[in-house]
Each structure stands twice: as C-alpha cells, then as structure tokens.
C-alpha cells in the first residue's frame, strides 16, 4: 500500500509499545488512526497525543479475545472514519513457562490474546478492507519467537509460530487481491510487555504484578525504541515488504533453524523405514503456498 495518506488504520494494542509507535508513525504519514486497546486510559492518552499534534485519531476499548467486540470495533471505525484500509493485529501479551508446567489459565490467556486476537482481527476487518476496492494492508505482530522457539516459553512460541503461519498463508491466498500483508517479527524492543499481567482479564486469573520469570523490565529496556519499529512497519507497508525483522544481528537464529530442518531431510533420505516405499510426490495442485 504505497499511498497511505488519508487512509484509515486500526491498531490493536495501540496504547503502548510498538502499537503506539505504529500509531505515531501512521498518523505522521497522514493516516487516520483508531487506537484500540484493552486499557482505556492509555488508549485515550495516545489518541489525545495524536489529535493534539493536528492528526486525525480516535480511540476505543476492545478486548481482542472477544469476536463480538472486534466486530463492534470495526463498525465504530467505519462509523468514525468512513472506511478502513489497514489493520494491525498487534495486541499481545508475554507468558513464560514450559508447555508441560505452565499454569493452564496462562496457557489459555496467551492463546486467546496472541492467536485468537489475530484471527478475530482478520474476521472482523478483512471483509471490510476488501469491500471498498481501494486496497489495503494487514499486518500482524508475531516475534522472533515465531521463527525459533525461545527456551522456557513454549506457550508463547506456539502462538507466535501460529501467527507467522496464518500470515504466510494469508499472503499467498491474497497475492492477486488488492490487499498486501506483512508479519512483524521483533527482537527485543523496549516496551511494557514485561508487565503484561497488568491487564490480565479476571477469567485468566486477574491483574498481577510482573513475575520474575522470563524477560525482566530492565532487560527489555535495553531493546529497540518502539517508535523506530513503528516507522519500520510503515516503511514495510509502503514498500510491500512481508517479513519485518527489527534486529539484523539475529539472522543466525533463522539460519541455524533452517540447517536443523534440512538435516531432517538428509536423515529421511537414508532412513530404513522409507526404503522402497511409494511416495505421493508433489503436493496436490494449488495446496502449496508460494
């Protein structure tokens, strides 16, 4: 989506961190921005900051885990700005803990926000973006944890791999449509994610102080400026860049994982169980995403 001026952007998790960085970058580029977040006060502050600078912005409270709320948010966005061209499925929370021992409520919480939140965004917004024919863009925030598993974060990794998979498929399915897409895979960024439990919903155990498991606020503070990520996402949208990596020094993570996967093919080529067995060959036409 080269020409963003005057277009309408909806950003989940827009009140803090990278979502706020995107809101600032998109608004400065002339977009109309709907800041959506589960936390009302910071969302209002973010929108006030933007309107105070003369940009067009509004805010709404939404819990991305609830599809009906996302549909209502989509309606409010169109009622406010006339149309919607861009959704950033960015709201996310951090949960640390191993898959087999992580508290089940936290497991459900991280899946509901980080995975179902993205699905709900696609369901509520993509039909609206496609409906006006002016084109648009869908971006979702995954993580480097969607490219290679972080130790001690199986549930978080599961959601972020899922987001990468959904967006790769989305891109292939819509290659010929007037809608581009991207997946953001940040390294460490100096946001408030270390205190994700500040707004954990009652059904998952309620609000709590940041735990000392996982990445601390001090470590996180050494990360990239979230406003720079916001500007990078804008640049990627304008240049139709699908994978958005924020830290080139982490390239080796993907190289190492790819080597390990290919080793599995080398092993399969010589494994006894497959010797002489008939193979289906290429996958049935059209199934493979390119």
Ligand X SMILES: NC(=O)c1ccc[n+]([C@@H]2O[C@H](COP(=O)([O-])OP(=O)(O)OC[C@H]3O[C@@H](n4cnc5c(N)ncnc54)[C@H](O)[C@@H]3O)[C@@H](O)[C@H]2O)c1
The catalytic residue positions are 156
Among 77, 223, 234, 245, binds ligand X (CB under 6 A): 223
Stretch of 58-66, 98-106, 255-263, 280-288 lying at the interface with ligand X (CB under 6 A): 58-66
Nearest CA among 44, 84, 85, 83 for reference residue 61: 44
Query: Is 14 in a helix, a strand, or coil?
Result: coil
Stretch of 49-57, 63-71, 204-212, 259-267 lying at the interface with ligand X (CB under 6 A): 63-71
Over its C-alpha atoms, the chain yields an Rg (Å, rounded) of 20
Unique residue bearing structure tokens 């408030």: 192
Q: What residues form DSSP beta bridges with 245?
A: 185
**63 scored as a contact of ligand X (CB under 6 A):** yes
**139 scored as a contact of ligand X (CB under 6 A):** no
Alpha helical stretches, state H, the chain: 17-28, 40-52, 67-81, 104-110, 117-131, 154-173, 217-220, 226-239, 251-270
Nearest CA among 14, 75, 80 for reference residue 226: 14
**111 scored as a contact of ligand X (CB under 6 A):** no
Give one word for 214, left, alpha or beta, with left for phi > 0 and alpha for psi -120 to 50.
left
**113 scored as a contact of ligand X (CB under 6 A):** yes
- Smallest separation, CB 289 to ligand X (Å): 23
**91 scored as a contact of ligand X (CB under 6 A):** yes
Kindly determine how many residues on this chain lie close enough to bind ligand X according to the rule CB under 6 A. Answer: 32
Stretch of 12-20, 22-30, 206-214, 264-272 lying at the interface with ligand X (CB under 6 A): 12-20
Among 143, 157, 181, 197, binds ligand X (CB under 6 A): 143
**193 scored as a contact of ligand X (CB under 6 A):** yes
Among 88, 106, 157, 192, binds ligand X (CB under 6 A): 192
Nearest CA among 162, 194, 201 for reference residue 63: 201
Instruction: Name which of 75 and 175 has its Cβ closer to ligand X.
Output: 75
Among 9, 57, 60, 62, binds ligand X (CB under 6 A): 62
Q: What are the φ and ψ backbone dihedral angles of 150, each rounded to 5 degrees?
A: -80, 135
Q: What are the φ and ψ backbone dihedral angles of 8, each rounded to 5 degrees?
A: -110, 130
- Judged by the rule CB under 6 A, the positions of this chain that interact with ligand X are 12-13, 15-19, 37-39, 62-65, 90-93, 113, 141, 143, 186, 188-189, 191-193, 196, 199, 220, 223, 226
């Amino acid at each position: 989506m080269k020409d963003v001026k005057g277009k309408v952007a909806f950003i989940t998790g827009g009140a803090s961190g990278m979502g706020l960085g995107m809101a600032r970058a998109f608004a400065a580029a002339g977009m109309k921005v709907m800041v959506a977040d589960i936390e009302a006060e910071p969302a209002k502050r973010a929108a006030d900051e933007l309107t105070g600078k003369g940009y067009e912005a509004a805010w709404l409270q939404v819990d991305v885990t609830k599809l009906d709320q996302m549909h209502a948010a989509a309606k409010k966005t169109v009622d406010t700005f006339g149309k919607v061209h861009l959704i950033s499925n960015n709201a996310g929370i951090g949960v640390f803990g191993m898959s087999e021992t992580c508290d089940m409520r936290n497991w459900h919480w991280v899946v509901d926000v980080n995975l179902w939140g993205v699905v709900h965004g696609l369901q509520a917004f993509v039909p609206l973006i496609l409906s006006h024919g002016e084109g648009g863009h869908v971006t979702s925030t995954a993580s480097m944890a969607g490219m290679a598993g972080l130790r001690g974060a199986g549930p978080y990794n599961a959601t972020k791999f899922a987001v990468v998979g959904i967006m790769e498929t989305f891109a292939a399915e819509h290659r010929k449509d007037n809608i581009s897409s991207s997946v953001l895979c940040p390294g460490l960024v100096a946001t408030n994610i270390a205190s994700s439990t500040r707004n954990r919903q009652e059904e998952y155990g309620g609000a709590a102080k940041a735990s000392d498991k996982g990445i601390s606020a001090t470590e996180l503070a050494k990360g990239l400026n979230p406003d720079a990520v916001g500007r990078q996402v804008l640049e990627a949208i304008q240049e139709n860049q699908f994978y958005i990596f924020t830290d080139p020094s982490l390239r080796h993570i993907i190289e190492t994982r790819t080597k390990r996967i290919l080793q599995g093919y080398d092993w399969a080529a010589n494994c006894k169980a497959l010797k002489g067995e008939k193979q289906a060959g290429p996958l049935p036409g059209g199934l493979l995403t390119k």
